[in-house]
Structure 1
């Protein structure tokens, strides 16, 4: 590793020997006097995902074995510990202020506010704008409150909001019934020896006690589960605690079945007993089998790590969804990245119970966020003059909207995912490095956007730390912000203006291609853009007109606008909400 850059002003607030040319800064903000040492694991996992170096023979319990590396293995890392037993907003903001002062290029925040919090009440959002004004790119987790609509924990247009997708690797555990039917599931715990013959199978919900269907604490008392496979529902009880309850009650194995809202989204967890996590559809069929057979029996077949799941990337159920509640006219999330069963570094004093682990597998938008942070670092290195908005644009307009099998990305219900789940799509780092065109935004434009939200001068000051008079400020409604996506609330018609900058070939031409939302006619003027040099700007207007094809009670519609040249395809998602 090269030494820290000359601009670096950070420091290590523990033994200097703990820092090096990789870890160039480590600071603790708030709470009791203590070092920045990670005693939880979350920070180590996310940091190594963003910028961890190459490590051979990485695995968890022998699963997912291979060479591990973060997205930007050549990048320097600075860690700001802002959470101890809990996360206090003032501590988070202090950490962000320190990062800005120290001279970072990227801030990765796997934290967030509750959905619907006004921007002036969200310290993380305030800190992120201060960073953007200094040219620092900020990536934030979308939140883990899905799959319901309007569940996002980060909405601000000056951050990249990242949803979570599946990857093509699974650690398989298959539930097999005595009638021969099998149901694929997942489990990180893969015992080498387990009964190949079937065992008695029972559904915990038949115990008729509070939380019995979820195998809550004490709910299995009075139910004979000793030596049996126990079916429990996923829901109100922590997934690992479910396994502990079954084991303490004498159960031999666990089948954890999704509730309806989680659909086909399953996770590989380090269960304390032989277990598999299966889909809602599988759980319903297993329950029907138990109900129809007094002597129901089952076993679990552990198949280890497999690669090549062609449904990936798919939206996972927990990934928070739009539409935005506060930031009108902005489509969120912006992008999806890998966030399910992610292997990354783990401290020996982390919160899980594995003995001296070096790695752990975790799931969440906390995991997808640092993937995008690392990719942003690569783009910053490749294009040092690009603004945070330009980097965001490159990521969004080059995203994939199809899975590995060549069909539309699906959600947890095995249905085509909408834009409120995937945003612009799934990140494609190679394409993002050469986007052709970018949509840039100067930080000053965010002031006009804040005034368009109806905020008072004082509220705008809280966010910007600038004395602004909104009465004299040119207001920029969300739809008119030069954002890479297009989002409108449509009555009869509405026109948006966009400006693109040529960062591809000097002499190039683009023509427009539209996939119109159902019930909307889309007109673009001009329909062709011609450039003679790199850095040249071009402006276009896109008009949305509601047609008679709008379906009764239709609330949303979506489509795409593409600018296509001989070399590039620059895609913007179109989100229409009917007013």
Structure 2
């Protein structure tokens, strides 16, 4: 085995901040299922492990809230599951040896689901301890769920890309912790934002002077770095996100300099995607578009003013779910023939348990916090997988993944396509199959199944050597004997096709589906063909006469003349099997190279 890197860098959230969207260290992962918790649970040094664990399997708790916001009954996805937590990280990172050792123990403990809210950059699977450990787990029938990463919205920014892992991106919910910025004297000139801390003693009726941080201090004061602000006493300060400074630290600098409140504006890449965080002073986090208008207003008058209004918890965002700006995107670098992420789930402004009080509460032992990240989305899917497995104990990890993916939602609450951070329809590299729908996942109709040994010809097709594959599989492999398949030929519940100038304009693939719905079922084909492509599917009707019957169908992708030469880098569509009770949908991505 090649020597591992010295450190494994994971994803984290500290005190409600996304660690500036850098992959700098996670804390815990957990196993959910029949395994009993090990004695003396590991000490949680920053809350990450407590938050993710309770999201997956927390019991029902009434009156959960943070600073009085988002009040209600809290519960994990699988509240009656047993939970075991394995600590693998310190404040300095996560050693590969510790990750692998913990995975070995979890498998020996007999967990049913492993949930890892950590990961690192894209590397070959035989060098990736999570991919190696995950393969050992799925060989034992253990479902494996991982965070996609917080390096979005940039393409090819994913972690945890192996096809035997469920890779989870982050989306919003319909709950908004709403605050507003109102500029000037015009009550109609206001911009919606978010904030977790909404102090009752702040007088929102008072108009205060407004300044742009980039004009009132040392460079780079626009990012409100420590020690950069001057002459902001009693003013509302407009700060920009980014610059290597956490959002929380920006507010602390405004407060240090005597500022009364802060408006936090996105960078262009973050678009309309904002976060509700626990700031040091009254704050509203607004979109990039809103920030530009506020900056324009400041420069247009000699005496700019503003108010910050707090609206509390608002339920019913019609655009929800949408893809969070930080959620890492495909295509899959390690294996372009596998579409990743697989799915998106709630990962923005998530309320879950916390090891200490964040609001100095003394009357309750129930402590909670609201933070954001794909770390928060992953345990939602892990808990849902545990529920599906409890209903279908004989299903393989791949079958559970298929059920989750093929039943996902692609429309928001308004019945429109799910959007990304720019409020444009999200593509498959942002949301994979779509947003998880737990009820539908429990009754998918058809499943695409894959056994552990089926991944070996796929790994041979990645041009890994026999020795490299043996590092993953921990068994002797001879590719000349087992055969080779292309990546997209794996029996996966999605398609990722590459059309290159030196490649055949026609590509053929097969898929096999198993009937897990009514014994007598007929499924008709529904296709949305990607841009500049032709498709044929044979047969076009699947007729089942018994439960667990399998049918194989063949798909041909045909690149049209000029495909990829008109400025369009990729196309997307879907292949859907429709019965009178089920829609079984596989997303399609075609990359023109």
Pick the TM interval, shorter chain.
Answer: over 0.9
- What do the CA deviations read for 1:132-168 (whole angstroms, capped 9, x no partner)? 0000000000000000000001100000000000000
| 1:157 corresponding residue in structure 2 | 163
* Other-structure match for 1:385: 394
State how far apart, in whole Å, the 2-side matches of 1:389 and 1:503 are.
14
Deviation by residue 1:15-50 (Cα, 9 ceiling, x = unmatched): xxxxxx99931379xxxxxx6121211011000000
Of 267-276 and 462-471, more deviation after overlay is shown by 462-471
User: Are positions 1:26 and 2:38 aligned together?
Assistant: yes
Q: Write the distance in 1 (CA, Å) between the matches of 2:161 and 2:477.
A: 22
Q: Does 1:43 align with 2:55?
A: no
Question: 2: distance between equivalents of 1:27 and 1:216?
Answer: 44
Aligned to 1:336: 344
Q: CA deviation at 1:194?
A: 2.0
How far apart are residue 484 of structure 1 and its match?
0.2
- 1:67 counterpart SS class: strand
**Does the 8 A contact of 2:36 with 2:109 survive in 1?**
no
- 1:79 match: 85
The aligned runs of 1:132-281 (5 Å cut-off) are 132-180=138-186, 181-195=189-203, 196-207=205-216, 209-220=218-229, 223-236=230-243, 237-281=245-289
Q: Which runs of 5+ in 1 are unaligned?
A: 1-20, 29-34
SS in 2 for 1:542: strand
Q: Which residue of 2 aligns with 1:373?
A: 382
The answer on whether the counterparts of 1:142 and 1:154 sit within 8 Å (CA) in structure 2 is yes
Shift of 1:208: 5.9
Partner of 1:184, secondary structure, is: strand
Q: Distance in 1 between matches of 2:198 and 2:575?
A: 46
The superposition leaves residues 316-355 of structure 1 with CA deviations (integer Å, 9 ceiling, x where unpaired) of 1000000011113100000000000000000028xx6755
Q: 1:70 aligns with which of 49, 70, 76?
A: 76
1:557 aligns with 2:582: no
User: What is the distance in 2 between the residues matched to 1:176 and 1:322?
Assistant: 38
Contact 1:27 1:80 in 2 (8 A): no
* Residues 421-430 or 203-212, more deviating: 203-212
Cα distance, 1:549 vs structure 2:
6.7
| Residue deviations 1:74-131 (CA, integer Å, cap 9, x gap) | 11111111112221121111111110000000000000121x2111111111000000
Q: Within 1, Cα distance between the matches of 2:441 and 2:481?
A: 38
Q: Which residue of structure 2 aligns with residue 500 of structure 1?
A: 513
Tell me by how many angstroms 1:209 deviates. 2.5
Report the count of equivalent residues. 548
- Please give the alpha-carbon distance, in whole angstroms, between the structure 2 residues aligned to 1:328 and 1:63: 42
SS at match of 2:491: coil
C-alpha distance in 1, partners of 2:360/2:87? Answer: 23
Kindly indicate whether the alpha-carbon contact (under 8 Å) linking 2:34 and 2:112 is maintained by their aligned counterparts in 1. no
Deviation at 1:178, TM superposition (A): 1.4
In the alignment, the residues of structure 1 paired with residue 221 and residue 481 of structure 2 have an alpha-carbon distance, to the nearest angstrom, of 61
Match of 1:536 in 2: 549
Partner of 1:9: none
2:559 aligned residue (528, 539, 546): 546
Q: Distance in 1 between matches of 2:185 and 2:531?
A: 46
CA deviations 1:196-232 (Å, max 9, x no partner) are 1210000001136332110001111xx2100000000
Aligned partners of 2:39, 2:303: CA distance in 1, in Å? 59
TM-score of the aligned structures, taking structure 2 as reference length? 0.90
Asked if 1:571 is matched to 2:585, the reply is: yes
Is the CA contact 1:437–1:503 (under 8 Å) kept in the aligned structure 2? yes
Give SS of 2:264's match: strand
Distance 1:300 1:23, change over 3 A: farther
Structure 2: tracts of 5 or more residues without a match: 1-32
Shift of 1:548: 3.4
CA 1:361 to 1:244, structure 2 compared with 1: closer, same or farther past 3 Å?
same
Q: Secondary structure at the match of 1:420?
A: helix
Q: Look up the SS of the partner of 1:367 in the other structure.
A: helix
Out of 199-208 and 405-414, give the one that drifted further. 199-208
Out of 461, 486, 495, the position equivalent to 1:477 is: 486
1:13 corresponding residue in structure 2: none
